[in-house]
Amino acid sequence: MRRADIISGMVLIVFGLVMLFIVIPTQIDTAPDGFVSPSLVPNMMMILITFLAGLLIITTIRNKAKETQEDAAPPISKAELVAFLKLGSVFAIALMLYLWVAPLAAGIAIIVGSLVALGERRPFIIIVMPTLILFGIWLLFYKLLGTAIV
Amino acid sequence: MSLSMKRSLMGTMVALAVGWTGLMPAMAADYPTKPITMLIGYKAGGQTDLVGRATARVMSEQLGVPINVVNKPGAGGAVAAAGLQREDADGYTIMFHANSVINTAPFLMKRVTFKPEDFEYAGMITAYQAGLVTQKDAPFDNLEEFVTWAKANPGFSYGSLSPASRMTMDQISQKEGLDVNIVPLKGGGDMINAILGKQVVLALSGGIHNNYPDEMKMISALTTFRHPSAPDVNTIGENGYPIGMDTRTVLILPKGAPRDILDTLANALKAAETDEGFKKIVATANVPIMYFDVDASYKEMQDSYTSNGAIMKNAGIEPK
Amino acid sequence: MDYLITGFYHVLTPSTLLWVTVGVTLGYVLGALPGLGKATGVAVAIPMTFYLEPVTAIAMLIGIAKGSGAGSAVSAILLNTPGEPSSAPTALDGYPLARQGKAQKALKMGLFASVIGDFISTLVLIVLAAPLARYALLIGPIELCAILLFSLTFIGGLAGKSLIKGLIAAAFGVFFATVGLETETFIPRLTFDILELDSGISLVPMAIGMLAIAEMIVQAGNMKKLDAETANMYSKGRKKEDNIVTASDWRRSLPAIFRGTLIGSIVGILPGLGASVGSFLSYGATKKASKTPEKFGTGMIEGIAAAESADNAVVPSSFIPLFALGIPGSVIAAILIAAFVLHGLTPGPQMFQKQPQMVADIYAAMLCASVILLAVGYAGQRLFSQIIRVPIRLIIPGVMFLCCIGAYMDSSSVFSIYVMLFFTVIGFIARKLDFSFVTFLIGFVIGPNLELTFRQAIQILDQQAINLIYHPIAIIFIILTMVTVVWIARGSGSSKRAAKAAEVDK
């Protein structure tokens, strides 16, 4: 966690400065006289974040506690990163299907895609589970509650 | 419940029947043949949403097809209106909304560039009773008395809900030389809190003050007409400030919707005027019914767009 | 009182009871499904109520609200995917308990705390609605600003191991809340010319992404470990006391429940705070009162009791300003206004004068809903607790799908899905780097109101700080905030020591 803290502190400082000097001035107009500036709070928060990020780096470096085993392991394990990428691509595929094909296809893609991505290989489950969930949702919202979702 | 089920079942069957006759363009003569989607640009539960749902019910009975209400909130309705522009102009996607999204929003928001001629209109049904309101026991009853009081009490607080309501007070205070603290408020509930809790002396109400006849009074109507709920109170125009702006609920369709579809919808809308259930609902919410047919709606949109634009320009309000 | 007795006669008819039960069950199921919740449930049910009698319709809506409040604890405890921010503190101790094989104990405690909090708060509503609402009006922007400041500091001081990181997360929460049109000038802030962002980032898809989907990704990455744990949990053989709330659990939890109910009831009356603030404050107060605060987050039953009782106590008491003044105190109250008007009732002081019987009927229905909630929840938890046996591999797809539906329904547009995914990424990173997403959410929820009330306060005080002396309530909370800051500054040192001690224990 030690290294992660220092790196995230540095990233946050860069982020805060970019926001303060580039993004906020270009994205928030100035108000006419007599108004509180609309960028007051966003600026305050970014100054606070930049300051705290600096503090985080300093306290982490000064706090010379020896590296425990927990600290040595990277905060995001390889398996988690893989899961992140796998499920991320499932969402990407589903979104493309939503935009270019149909919402229903996107719904099926989310369920089937993540089942397959997580290692489910039994055809029975892959067919039955989306059918059951979609039917249940259709029954609940469209029939029982009389509301359309899409 | 069972009624709605029967209806949506019928709708599905009708939709299926239409589906297999092919994808030929919807014939206006037998419009409507399938369920209609009604967009509302506010979250479920607000006053406009409520009137919209009540309208949808009446129109659905008149037209014989279900009308599904879909809430698509964002930017005071501009998100829904922009979405509507991308829909087919076949009369199956309509929007029920305050006409302020077209006749006021473009003057306040730079990215909203709607003009009245970007849409078609199938009638208006209710009006909003905006006005300047204060506590029932306030020591003034009309705008002149208020100005006299305000001169004697500099540093009073005024509750403002938007740049437009701030503009109203700016116009008055500039002319009369008043010293006012403008307190920003967010939404009608916040306004009620501020008035009942005596945090502010005066505030702009979009009409909700009618629910508090024992607690609040209106000293000036901000519309061009006197309010049916308070016919004795002057309009702001009668007070000498030509800044009255009207807001009405209107049925909006995408550009290019055929005239006979608009008329069919407007006729169905007219039924709401006399529908007992609808009248009861709007009476409870204190919303006056003011029906306009297709031609009158177009004229009202054009006129209000022009006059609102002039008022905002005079007041020096720039779209943000 | 006579009205109330007549009210019970009116409500205790098969058809009304049926609809209340339908409402409670629907709410409970929607609440228990990750990604769907309170707001979805009530909004979806409004069209239904067109066809019901006024009292029945309103009772059903209230049933949905109550049911979903209690139901949201289920997904928080079993899957660590709180459907709404207000049940995030429930997950802090509920999920560890569930992983220890004590899912049913946790669920039952959650349910009991919910029902008790809800029932007492309903009684408060009935007895004190009118007079309390008048006092609540004394809480103007100045007082509210001080209270918000206090809540933010108090909650901020609790979360996470590192105070600095907690504060960074809270600052980010406030920052993201500023996106959208600024209230006073309508100047767009950080919207990158996206029209959908004008009304700001919506809480529902954001919370779903941060709380539920990000958690699902982490669980997907640790699937083998979790499944092994589950297998181990059931091979060990089960003790009966893992499934029930024992007498000693009750002893530990009752004070937390009453504290939570009190906090929840007060938070509900005040405008602009909301259920999440209630449950976090209550959780924090219980942690602070405990002799072993460092054990919170590892499966302390009173943590669940504190969070759930406050979460559910907020719902009825948020109706106090609605019934007495017509001011919606919560999302549900706002939606209920529509239901009232639909049936010819104008919420507000006139309701008591014009239709006292109607009000009494609604009160009676609310009390019945509490009792029905107990029955439905008790049956439901037995069923839902089986979920924990299902391998994670099969749970994640279902949860992800439901989350998409819940997010999508917030605005009926795919933009909500983008918001959800954006905050999924942020939530995932925050989780792994130990930035508290809890303080982030609280910052996000409180931020806009803090900014608004601060500006209002400046104007009302006529730009002179000295005018504060006319606002003693505000002064009290400002002092309390300072005390809290000192307490946090000192406490963070001692909790570090405690953490080290705990390390040695291992």
- Give the ipTM: 0.92
Enumerate chain A positions whose Cβ falls within 8 A of a Cβ in B. 29, 142-143, 146-148
Output the six-digit token pair for B196. Answer: 């009942």
Distance CA A9, CA C276 (A): 29
Residue B16 has pLDDT above 70, yes or no: no
Q: Is B148 in CB contact (< 8 Å) with chain A? A: no
- At a CB cut-off of 8 Å and minimum separation 6, what does A64 contact? none
Higher pLDDT, B282 or C214: C214
pLDDT at residue C232, rounded to an integer: 80
Nearest to C140 among B182, B189, B199 (CB): B199
Q: Which residues of B touch A142 (CB under 8 A)?
A: 8
Class of residue C431 by CB neighbours under 10 A (exposed 0-12, middle 13-18, buried 19+): buried
Helix axes of C392-411 and A123-137: crossing angle, nearest 10 degrees: 30
Q: Is C461 in CB contact (< 8 Å) with chain A? A: no
Q: Is B314 in CB contact (< 8 Å) with chain C? A: no
Q: Is B136 in CB contact (< 8 Å) with chain C? A: no
What pLDDT, in 10s, does the model give residues B159-170? 988 777 888 898
pLDDT at residue C502, rounded to an integer: 43
Distance CA A31, CA B318 (A): 11
Identify any residues that bridge with B134 across adjacent strands, giving them in sequence order. B217
pLDDT at residue B86, rounded to an integer: 85
Distance CA C122, CA C99 (A): 33
Question: A84 CA to chain C: closest CA distance, Å?
Answer: 6
Residue pairs spanning A and C at CB distance below 8 A: 156
Distance CA A87, CA C216 (A): 9
What pLDDT, in 10s, does the model give residues A70-120? 556 778 888 899 999 999 999 999 999 999 988 899 999 999 999 999 988
> C30: number of CA atoms within 13 Å, CB side?
30
| % of chain B beyond a pLDDT of 70 | 90
Question: A8 CA to chain C: closest CA distance, Å?
Answer: 8
Distance CA C429, CA A81 (A): 11
What pLDDT, in 10s, does the model give residues A2-58? 788 888 999 999 999 999 999 998 888 887 776 778 888 899 999 999 999 999 999
Indicate yes or no: CB of B183 within 8 angstroms of CB of C460.
yes
Indicate yes or no: CB of B70 within 8 angstroms of CB of A148.
yes
pLDDT at residue B13, rounded to an integer: 42
C44-47 own/partner pairs: CB under 8 Å, 24+ apart: C44/A141, C44/A145, C44/A147, C44/C409, C45/A145, C46/B44, C46/B45, C46/B53, C46/C335, C46/C338, C46/C339, C46/C342, C47/A145, C47/A146, C47/A147, C47/B4, C47/B53, C47/B69
Task: Determine phi and psi for C479, rounding to 5 degrees.
Answer: -65, -45
pLDDT at residue B29, rounded to an integer: 62
Give which of C75, C407, C473, C462 is closest to C270, Cα–Cα: C473
Question: B167 CA to chain C: closest CA distance, Å?
Answer: 11
Task: Determine phi and psi for B218, rounding to 5 degrees.
Answer: -105, 135
pLDDT at residue A114, rounded to an integer: 93
Dihedral class, residue C359 (left if φ above 0, else alpha if ψ from -120 to 50, else beta): alpha
- At a CB cut-off of 8 Å and minimum separation 6, what does C265 contact? C120, C121, C124, C313, C314, C316, C317
Give which of B104, B108, B240 is closest to B172, Cα–Cα: B240
> C454: number of CA atoms within 13 Å, CB side?
11
- At a CB cut-off of 8 Å and minimum separation 6, what does C301 contact? C93, C97, C105, C106, C109, C245, C249, C252, C253
User: Which domains, from first to last, does chain B contain?
Assistant: 2-127+246-314 (3.40.190.150), 131-221 (3.40.190.10)
The mean pLDDT value for B121-148 works out to 92
pLDDT band at A65 (very low <50, low <70, confident <90, very high): low
Nearest to A146 among C47, C394, C433 (CB): C47
Q: Which residues of B touch A147 (CB under 8 A)?
A: 68
Question: C344 CA to chain B: closest CA distance, Å?
Answer: 5
Other beta carbons within 10 angstroms of residue B84's beta carbon come to: 23
Pairing of strands B67-71, B36-40: parallel
Q: Is B5 in CB contact (< 8 Å) with chain C? A: no
Give which of B239, B256, B133 is closest to B188, Cα–Cα: B133
Higher pLDDT, B217 or C328: B217
Strand order in the sheet with B202-205: B180-184, B156-160, B202-205, B131-135, B216-221
Q: List per-residue pLDDT tens for chain C, 506 residues long.
A: 678 888 888 888 888 888 889 889 988 988 888 888 776 776 667 666 666 777 788 888 888 888 988 898 999 999 998 877 888 899 999 999 998 888 899 999 999 999 999 999 999 988 887 677 667 777 888 888 898 888 888 887 766 667 788 889 989 999 999 998 887 777 888 888 887 888 789 888 999 999 899 999 999 999 888 888 888 877 665 677 778 888 889 999 999 999 999 999 988 888 777 788 899 999 989 988 888 888 888 889 999 999 999 999 998 888 887 787 777 766 677 777 777 777 777 777 677 777 788 888 888 989 999 999 999 999 998 888 888 888 888 999 999 999 998 888 887 789 999 999 999 999 999 989 888 888 888 888 888 888 888 888 888 888 788 888 888 889 999 999 888 888 777 765 444 444 444 443 43
Output the six-digit token pair for B95. Answer: 């929007």
Output the six-digit token pair for C188. Answer: 């767009």
Indicate yes or no: CB of C452 within 8 angstroms of CB of B186.
yes
The SS3 call for residue C246 is coil
Indicate yes or no: CB of A110 within 8 angstroms of CB of C397.
yes
Per the CB < 8 A criterion, the answer to whether B34 and B10 are in contact is no
pLDDT at residue C97, rounded to an integer: 92
Residue A132 has pLDDT above 50, yes or no: yes
Domain ranges of chain C: 2-134+146-222+252-460
Give which of B73, B10, B217, B38 is closest to B133, Cα–Cα: B217
Distance CA B172, CA C202 (A): 36
Other beta carbons within 10 angstroms of residue B254's beta carbon come to: 21
For chain C, the chains sharing at least 3 beta-carbon pairs closer than 8 angstroms are: A, B
pLDDT at residue B6, rounded to an integer: 44
Give which of B54, B117, A77 is closest to C49, Cα–Cα: B54
Smallest CA–CA distance from A84 into chain C, residue: C217
Q: Which residues of C touch B284 (CB under 8 A)?
A: 341, 344-346
Residue pairs spanning B and C at CB distance below 8 A: 157
The alpha-carbon radius of gyration of chain B (Å, integer) is 21
**SS3 of chain B:** CHHHHHHHHHHHHHHHHHHHCCCCCCCHHHCCCCCEEEEECCCCCCHHHHHHHHHHHHHHHHHCCCEEEEECCCHHHHHHHHHHHCCCCCCCEEEEEECHHHHCHHHHCCCCCCCHHHEEEEEEEEECCCEEEEECCCCCCCHHHHHHHHHHCCCEEEEECCHHHHHHHHHHHHHHCCCEEEEECCHHHHHHHHHHCCCCCEEEECCHHHHCCCCEEEEEECCCCCCCCCCCCCECCCCCCCCCCCCEEEEEEECCCCHHHHHHHHHHHHHHHHCHHHHHHHHHCCCCEEEECHHHHHHHHHHHHHHHHHHHHHCCCCCC
- At a CB cut-off of 8 Å and minimum separation 6, what does B68 contact? A147, A148, B35, B36, B37, B38
Q: Which residues of C touch B57 (CB under 8 A)?
A: 50
Per the CB < 8 A criterion, the answer to whether B235 and B221 are in contact is yes
Smallest CA–CA distance from B183 into chain C, residue: C456
